[in-house]
Structure 1
Amino acid sequence: MPKFISSYVKYVDLICEKVGRFVMYWVFFMMFLLILSFVTRNIINYPLMWIIEMAQFTITAYYLLGGGYSMITDDHVRMDLFYGKLSKKGKAKMDIFTSVFLIFYLVLLFIGSITSLIYTIETKQKLFTAWAPYVWPIKTLMLIGILLMLLQAFSTLFKDIAKMRERKI
Structure 2
Amino acid sequence: MPNVIKVYVHYVDAINRRIGRIMMYMIFALMGILLYSSITKTFFLPSLWTLEMAQFFMVGYYMLGGAYSLQLGSHVRMDLLYGSWRKKNKLSMDVITILFLIFYLSVMLYGGYSSTEYALEYGERSYSSWRPYMAPIKIVMCVGILMMLLQAISELFKDVARLRGEEL
Which residue of structure 1 aligns with residue 35 of structure 2? 35
**Equivalent-residue separation in structure 1 for 2:163 and 2:84 (angstroms):** 16
- Alignment length (residue pairs): 168
Match runs of 1:36-115 below 5 Å: 36-42=36-42, 44-115=43-114
- TM-score, normalized by length of structure 1? 0.98
**CA shift digits 1:47-87 (9 cap, x unpaired):** 11001110000001100000100011111011111111112
RMSD across aligned positions (CA)? 0.7
**CA shift digits 1:121-160 (9 cap, x unpaired):** 1110000111100000000000000000000000000000
**CA shift digits 1:25-62 (9 cap, x unpaired):** 111100011010000001x2211100111000000110
For structure 1, the residue ranges without an aligned partner over 5 or more in a row are none
SS at match of 2:78: coil
Which residue of structure 2 aligns with residue 155 of structure 1? 154
**Equivalent-residue separation in structure 1 for 2:150 and 2:93 (angstroms):** 19
**Equivalent-residue separation in structure 2 for 1:130 and 1:92 (angstroms):** 50
Which residue of structure 2 aligns with residue 7 of structure 1? 7
Amino acid at match of 1:57: F
- TM-score, normalized by length of structure 2? 0.98
**1:126 pairs with 2:125:** yes
For structure 2, the residue ranges without an aligned partner over 5 or more in a row are none
Identity %: 46
The 4+ residue runs of structure 1 with deviation greater than 6 A are none
Q: CA offset at residue 91 of structure 1?
A: 1.0
**Equivalent-residue separation in structure 2 for 1:58 and 1:72 (angstroms):** 22
Amino acid at match of 1:35: L
Which residue of structure 2 aligns with residue 140 of structure 1? 139
